[in-house]
């Protein structure tokens, strides 16, 4: 077996391992936040020191080379902050609307169960040309990631990729985010 084949096999094994950790520590909640939604609660994963460390390391590998991590409100803050610390970069909190003082860059978008607005500061952080990786917990319909990418693009950042812990593949969120590459640690 060549070195390249061994490396691919190790990556595949590592991806299966992290996916199994995520599966074992994800709580499923029916009909939340509204009827028909099967909510994937990652709180047990984040509370487990080994699970949290494994997810942080896997996301950091994906984000390697980024100058800044954009962490999406709210669980993305936990993940993005940990990834930024591991990489030695800064973290930009992408906030829900109304949480930041003006001026802000803002995007409103549609969720699978409503709409929302995301904001980042329009002053105080120079994003022009900076390589940014977006970190969030779950990719569902793609509205949040797509809005975040547009928001960062509007601010002049060079968004290189997005990384999530869990992807609900049947909702085709990647389509909404395209052409931005998305890496997910586990797909369901």
DSSP helix/strand/coil, 32 = coil
Query: What residues form DSSP beta bridges with 164?
Result: 136, 184
Q: Both tokens of residue 140?
A: 């569902």
Length of the chain: 188
Is residue 6 flagged as an active site residue? no
Is residue 123 flagged as an active site residue? no
From 57, 67, 112, 150, active-site residue: 112
User: From residue 166, how far is each of 154, 169, 173, 182 by CA, in Å?
Assistant: 27, 9, 11, 11
From 75, 95, 130, 186, active-site residue: 75
User: From residue 140, how far is each of 105, 158, 169, 175 by CA, in Å?
Assistant: 23, 23, 7, 11
The catalytic residues are 75, 112
């Amino acid at each position: 077996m060549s070195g390249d084949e061994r490396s691919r096999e190790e990556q595949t094994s590592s991806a299966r391992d992290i996916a199994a950790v995520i599966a074992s520590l994800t709580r499923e909640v029916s009909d939340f936040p509204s009827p028909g939604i099967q909510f994937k609660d990652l709180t047990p994963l984040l509370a487990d020191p080994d699970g949290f460390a494994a997810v942080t390391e896997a996301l950091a590998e994906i984000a390697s080379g980024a100058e800044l991590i954009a962490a999406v409100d709210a669980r993305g803050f936990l993940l993005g902050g940990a990834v930024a610390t591991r990489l030695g970069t800064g973290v930009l909190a992408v906030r829900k609307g109304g949480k930041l003082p003006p001026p802000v860059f803002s995007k409103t978008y549609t969720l699978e169960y409503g709409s929302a607005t995301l904001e980042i500061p329009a002053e105080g952080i120079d994003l022009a040309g900076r390589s940014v990786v977006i970190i969030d917990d779950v990719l569902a319909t793609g509205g949040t990631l797509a809005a975040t990418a547009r928001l960062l693009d509007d601010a002049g950042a060079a968004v290189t990729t997005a990384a999530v812990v869990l992807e609900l593949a049947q909702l085709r969120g990647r389509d909404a985010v395209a052409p931005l590459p998305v890496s997910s640690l586990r797909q369901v």
